[in-house]
Structure 1
Amino acid sequence: MHLNEVFMYQLSFLLPVCRWFAVPAAFLVWISVCSALLAQTTPAQSNQTPPAPTSGFTEDLKSSEFSIPTSPAFILLGANPDVITRPGITRDFKVDWSFRSYSLQPNLAIEAQPVWEILYNRPTLAKYRNAHWVMRTLSTLSASFGTVQDSNSNQQMAWALKLNLFREKDPLMERGMYANAEREFKEQAKNLDNQIRETAILLKTTRDMETKAQLEQQLADLNAQYAAMELSQKDRIKTIAQQYVKENWNASFIDVAFGKRYNYLGSGLKELQMQGAGTGVWVNGSIGIGKKMLASAMVKYTRLDIKMPPLLQDTVSIEQPDSVAKSHLIGFNWRYGNPRYNFFLEVASDSPNMFLGVGDYYFAGGGDFRIGRNLLLNFALRTVLNDKFHFKTILPIATLACLMR
């Protein structure tokens, strides 16, 4: 399918049902605008004005996330490869694209962190580090919105909010992680700063043309030296952050999330009919084992109210009461690897009544592959068995997550 056709297909699907998502959609648009405004850079410095020393290199530190977790909207819709998802934090606008059964479908999700973007996404980390732990916890709030097309070409939509309740390690709070590098940088920056200011003063006061040309060249060389020093410091901070992530990639986390989903019958613009709506809430946590293993567990509850079609009896249409579908999911996931790539095995049970134990069982294997700093490929092969452990289906799923930075 051509990309333009895919885009127009998604647009034709979103328009008739956007009224159900006016608040969350507007909320995410507002987040995007705020992010763009807060991300504005300062004007470039002139040769006569020395650049201010950079302290903290926030962009490199906030990019030191241990993982790129699946968008909560996809978790609610079941579009994630790993049924038992790994908790985690990101601090950038993110887009997920989920693939099922090797077909190109409009399975898209967007995610952003409103509190972080509005209050704490600053050139330095001082405000975040000095904030109360409650506000630092609120800064992890993620809002997401996603759409999925099921195997019958029916549409599903969801919005969800996720909050991190516990994190064993927080790179943004590790003041001593790069203390030596920052101290050395400040000392070198101070010396160069003094030389630049003195040269700039001489350049303004001298009247000799030959001396002025020499001072201009000297000032340009000093500014180039300062820029090179900043670039070197940036690389040094990045290396330190990467080493920190390498040693702590399997740190323990606990997340809690809540969301709402909507199901529609039909795939065309004029065919969509509301089939059902529901809610979901889940808690997932992880704990590191050694340096290369991570164990995760998840408990998830969802309820879907399904609108039943009228029953025709002797040419008379009889309204039927709505049906309720409940899901109690609990499972375990075990990962082995490193921050760049890891593999997992998982087992989970999904039952309409958690006490009766009658439902489906999921067995899956897959992995994560980090492609650079901003891309993550997540894949799995999921086998579904019924309550008698008889084979039902096997489902390949892959998700591509992209951090917009």
Structure 2
Amino acid sequence: MIYSRSFTAISFCIACSITVLNTKAQTGSENAGSKLMPRELAIPTSPLFDLLGAAPSQVSRTADIKDFKVDWSLKNWRVNPNLSIQSQPVWELFYNRKDLKKYQQANKFQQMMASLDVSLGTVLGDNNERRIGGALKINLYKQQDPLLLKGVYDDIQKKFADELIELKIKEKQLLSAMDTLVKPAELAAKREALQINDALLTSFYNRRNAAIQTQALQYVSDNWNAAYLDLAFGKIYSYITDSAGSLSKLSLNRNTGNALWLNFGFGAGKKGLISGLIRTSFYEEELTFTVKDEATGNENIQQAIAASKLFTLGINFRYGGPVFNFFAEFIRENKSFKTPVQALNDVLSLPNGKTVITSTVKWDVVQPYIINFGGDWRISRNVILNYGMRCVLNENFKTISFTPIANISCMMR
């Protein structure tokens, strides 16, 4: 346990350090404003993690990331590859250019397709179930798109372009004046002025990039809770594993199946965001039951497979801003069949003389209520930490479990 926690902490520090160093290197070397403009208003967790229940918040924000991203889930605090990789292939193939004119001139449908999001990954669930899956997500509506901004940095570019011209002219003037000076005092004053001018020239690109970044951050701060509507589809498989981690048997329950869902949200003032989730999951359910032979009294355990659906509704409220925010959410889940006996009657037909002992019919219990609360901390431009507590309640609102969850999301740029 000590080794696991230490390894997790070291991995986190290494990942954050590499990403922060990469960001600093880019900031120092990039000299084009388009490289420093905001590409996304938020860094949400992977859509696949939303489906797998590995995200602290099950009602996610929009996932229009315009880049590659990696998510780590720390739900079970073990050294296991709980990992999701996320990218937007249409954007990467057709629109990821230094010049954004192609994207800005595309029609609404093309811009919508550019938001197509693909995520693949795996987590280790309860009872040593290895869950593997993928998800597709597309943005149907966004109130604000940072990549459609035109001329937002023109004032900064003009101001610094004028300054660069003035600094170069002044440099020439000082060098020319120093050639004709004889008096030591006057020569020393010109040398000091030249050193100040050279320092301004040396820091020119860093100062210009910092001004652009400050304006970009202001835009994100003003629009972090812009309205959106996302449509997603996902598919997951869950396998029972042995002590070596090998996949031995496919589990037939809610953790193996398909899902279709909508995420939506809208701002509530400058610091609030109200978001919602509507999801339907389609899967096969394994039922275990005992059959009794009325003639002999013999009993034997049998299994049957029934098609099932799970309906999920969620509401979330966030308060804060793009760097720090806190959330609380309520989730309601409901199966298409109220009881396992109803599901069994839909698929089972027994010969005369044999009956099912209804009290023995079992399936995976889905607790109907979930309360999540926690927050996000955007550590840097490329790294965000999501954390939360999950409280699962039964139909009588009695607490069944209380679990801490933490995710780290890193943009790979």
1:256 corresponds to: 231
Residue 280 of structure 2 corresponds to residue 272 of structure 1? no
Residue 377 of structure 2 corresponds to residue 369 of structure 1? yes
TM-score (norm 2): 0.71
1:184 corresponds to: 159
What displacement does 1:195 show?
12
Alignment partner of 2:36 out of 40, 60, 66 = 60
What displacement does 1:186 show?
4.8
What do residues 242-290 of structure 1 show as CA deviations (whole Å, max 9, x unaligned)? 1111111111111111111111111435452223441111101111111
Given that 2:389 and 2:404 are in contact with CA atoms closer than 8 Å, whether structure 1 keeps it comes out as: yes
TM-score (norm 1): 0.72
Residue 264 of structure 2 corresponds to residue 285 of structure 1? yes
5+ residue gaps in structure 1?
Answer: 8-40, 45-52, 199-220
Q: Secondary structure at the match of 1:294?
A: strand
1:21 corresponds to: none
Change beyond 3 A, Cα 1:303–1:125:
same
1:302 corresponds to: 281
Given that 1:96 and 1:110 are in contact with CA atoms closer than 8 Å, whether structure 2 keeps it comes out as: yes
Residue 369 of structure 2 corresponds to residue 390 of structure 1? no
Given that 1:293 and 1:335 are in contact with CA atoms closer than 8 Å, whether structure 2 keeps it comes out as: yes
Return the alpha-carbon distance in structure 2 between the equivalents of residues 380 and 239 of structure 1.
30
Alignment partner of 2:331 out of 318, 337, 348 = 348
In structure 1, what residue type is equivalent to 2:64? Answer: I
Given that 1:72 and 1:144 are in contact with CA atoms closer than 8 Å, whether structure 2 keeps it comes out as: yes
Identical-residue share of aligned pairs (%) = 36
In structure 1, what residue type is equivalent to 2:274? Answer: A
What displacement does 1:222 show?
11
In structure 1, what residue type is equivalent to 2:312? Answer: L
Bigger Cα Rg: 2
Given that 2:288 and 2:304 are in contact with CA atoms closer than 8 Å, whether structure 1 keeps it comes out as: no
What displacement does 1:325 show?
4.0
5+ residue gaps in structure 2?
Answer: 9-25, 173-195, 294-299, 340-365
Q: Secondary structure at the match of 1:82?
A: coil
Change beyond 3 A, Cα 1:182–1:352:
same
Alignment partner of 1:97 out of 62, 72, 95 = 72
2:356 corresponds to: none
Q: Secondary structure at the match of 1:251?
A: coil
Change beyond 3 A, Cα 1:162–1:104:
same
Given that 2:308 and 2:337 are in contact with CA atoms closer than 8 Å, whether structure 1 keeps it comes out as: no
What displacement does 1:312 show?
11
What displacement does 1:353 show?
2.9
Return the alpha-carbon distance in structure 2 between the equivalents of residues 336 and 105 of structure 1.
32
In structure 1, what residue type is equivalent to 2:264? Answer: G
2:190 corresponds to: none
What displacement does 1:173 show?
1.1
Change beyond 3 A, Cα 1:332–1:355:
farther
2:410 corresponds to: 402
What displacement does 1:85 show?
1.5
Return the alpha-carbon distance in structure 2 between the equivalents of residues 180 and 325 of structure 1.
58
Alignment partner of 1:140 out of 93, 100, 115 = 115
Given that 1:99 and 1:105 are in contact with CA atoms closer than 8 Å, whether structure 2 keeps it comes out as: no
Return the alpha-carbon distance in structure 2 between the equivalents of residues 107 and 172 of structure 1.
32
What displacement does 1:232 show?
2.4
Return the alpha-carbon distance in structure 1 between the equivalents of residues 111 and 168 of structure 2.
34
Return the alpha-carbon distance in structure 1 between the equivalents of residues 124 and 219 of structure 2.
39
1:339 corresponds to: 322
2:311 corresponds to: 328
Alignment partner of 2:44 out of 56, 65, 69 = 69
Q: Secondary structure at the match of 1:175?
A: coil
The count of aligned residue pairs is 334
Return the alpha-carbon distance in structure 2 between the equivalents of residues 309 and 193 of structure 1.
82
Change beyond 3 A, Cα 1:226–1:305:
farther
What displacement does 1:172 show?
1.4
What displacement does 1:308 show?
6.8
Alignment partner of 1:233 out of 204, 208, 215 = 208
In structure 2, what residue type is equivalent to 1:171? Answer: P
2:349 corresponds to: none
